[in-house]
Amino acid sequence: MDQVNFFKCLSDETRLNIVTLVVENKELCVCDLTEMLQLSQPKISRHLALLRSSGLLQDRRQSQWVYYSINPQLPNWCHDILNVLTTQQPSNIPPLAALPTQSYCE
C-alpha cells in the first residue's frame, strides 16, 4: 500500500466512516455497517469491495456472512494513521454495542 492509494481510500466520507468503524469495532459485517451508517447494502458493498481490493481491509466468511477487518499486513505507518484517526477524531456514529442489538446479521 502506497501513501497515495491509502489516502485515496480514505478521501471518501463513506469509506472513511467504514474504516473508522472497523478500526473501532475490530470486525464488522455488511449488515452491521448498513445499520450503523444508515446506507443501502449495495452502496456499502461497493465501498467495501474497493477497500478490500486496495488491501486496506480483509474479509472472512462465516456461514453466509462476510466480516471485514483491517488488513494486518498493512505497513506500520498505515496502522499508526488509522489509530490516530480513531483516537483523535472518533466517529460520530455510535459503537455497535450502543445499538439495540449486538449484530444485525442474525
Domains within the chain, CATH numbers bracketed: 3-85 (1.10.10.10)
Task: Look at 79 and 98; give whichever has higher pLDDT.
Answer: 79
Query: Residue 55's pLDDT is what?
Result: 95
Write the pLDDT tens digit of every residue in 30-73: 999 999 999 999 999 999 999 999 999 999 999 888 999 999 99
Task: Confirm if 100 and 36 have CB atoms less than 8 A apart.
Answer: no
3-class secondary structure, 54: helix
**Residue 20: which residues within 8 A CB-CB, separation 6 or more?**
85, 86, 90, 91, 93
Task: Confirm if 24 and 86 have CB atoms less than 8 A apart.
Answer: yes
Quote the mean pLDDT of the chain: 86
Query: Residue 74's pLDDT is what?
Result: 96
Query: Residue 101's pLDDT is what?
Result: 45
Phi, psi at 89, each rounded to 5°: -140, 70
**Residue 16: which residues within 8 A CB-CB, separation 6 or more?**
10, 85
Write the pLDDT tens digit of every residue in 20-32: 999 999 999 999 9
Query: pTM (2 decimals)?
Result: 0.82
Write the pLDDT tens digit of every residue in 82-102: 999 888 765 566 555 454 444
